[in-house]
Homo-oligomer: A and B are copies of this chain.
């Protein structure tokens, strides 16, 4: 009998995070300030607490997880590793499909892993309030959850289109004491400016980030900091507990190797969390395919430019070296709100450039089809973001069948879709649109960042 759930006891939880930055063949390019020079830790101090800035810039391979953070994570961690035997059977594939179930966290996704860590470090530093943005609402919920447990105020700017699609998210954040408002809002200068220019805008993560940062830096006491749910190095770091647990669990399941590792990728954090420990194996010679999956509506990895670009819409952040569609890019209102970000984490971007992983883009309609197959076989309802990983997993499992190859596939079940059922309803009613970024829109969007510092030239030493 195959056990379909592989648990890890609390005492076997990983005690350190893994920093891929220490192992990449070429180091990640530093963030740049407005003058084009690498920024100093002090320059980030208005936005982030110094202990997290140190982590952001750390070159250490392993970083200890404070015991107090573990004590909070035990509420749901270690998260189960599961085997999708019912999907395997349905597909008739010789592939073994494992997935790490991050949907078990109280807020419903992997986001709580870094939310708890960031809230904890901020509390240590003396921060009283955190501001942030949220797309689908997963991150805002996770940070509200963490701030409540740790004793911080929390204010969330939620992208308008998701705010309207998912009204329950606001109530969820409120239950944990978080305050959530739609972005663009009239509570910030940048929000008011955008509302004036584009009163009907669906919003974007870039805009919401600008608003959250503006509120943080406007607090003269310094007691308000900003928290980002993805993209940055320290966020990727906190998520590696996912992949580190998965490795221990695969060992318990008797798996000696993994052939394919898959995750959906918006800013990159759930994907990085699962995959980075396996990227390490790959750097050390293991043969593993590692696939970040993005929506064809927002294809920064497969169609974007590797460039220095701002993390937000208003250009308030440092410049990051990453795959980007341009910080002014406003993606169509696909249901996977968490995958609508214009850029990809520098660590993931760099690993793609090094050939350590190979991105793919999927249309949301195909992803919903996969989500329905999943719901009707494995039984659970996944987040629209997660459906991108499932679509790719199904393709890989079918490929294994066609090739007659045994294969072990591992993907990240990053979150459940219980708050996102309106997307399912639309899909079932045949009302869901396909979206692919046109070459014309791509060109127009990327044109706007062509004068920013060239990252590829610096990376390859041609600058």
Contacts and interface: CB of A to CB of B under 8 A. Distances in A.
Contacts of A168: 168, 418-419, 421-422
A175 interface: yes
A177 B381 CA distance: 13
Nearest to A425: B171
A379 B421 contact: no
A119 to B, nearest CB: 13
Interface in A170-202: 170-172, 174-177
Given A4-B75, A75-B378, A75-B379, A421 B10 contact: no
A282 interface: no
A434 interface: no
Nearest to A368: B175
Contacts of A171: 421-422, 424-425, 428
A108 interface: yes
A106 interface: yes
Which of A4, A175, A372 is most buried by chain B, counting CB atoms within 10 A of its CB?
A175
Nearest to A419: B418
A462 interface: no
B7 A175 contact: no
A104 B104 contact: yes
Contacts of A257: none
Interface in A1-25: 1, 3-5, 7, 9-11
Copies in the complex: 2
A7 B7 contact: yes
A5 B8 CA distance: 10
Contacts of A378: 75, 106
A381 B175 contact: yes
Contacts of A75: 4, 86, 378-380
Interface in A361-407: 372, 375-376, 378-381
Contacts of A176: 375-376
A106 B381 CA distance: 7
Interface of A: 1, 3-5, 7, 9-11, 74-76, 86, 104, 106, 108, 145, 148-149, 168, 170-172, 174-177, 372, 375-376, 378-381, 418-419, 421-422, 424-425, 428
Give the 9 A-B CB pairs with smallest separation, nearest first.
A171-B421, A171-B425, A106-B379, A168-B421, A106-B380, A418-B418, A7-B7, A75-B379, A175-B424
Given A168-B421, A172-B381, A172-B418, 8 more contacts: A3-B10, A5-B74, A106-B378, A106-B379, A106-B380, A149-B376, A171-B428, A177-B376
8 contacts: A5-B10, A76-B379, A108-B418, A145-B379, A149-B376, A170-B425, A171-B424, A176-B376
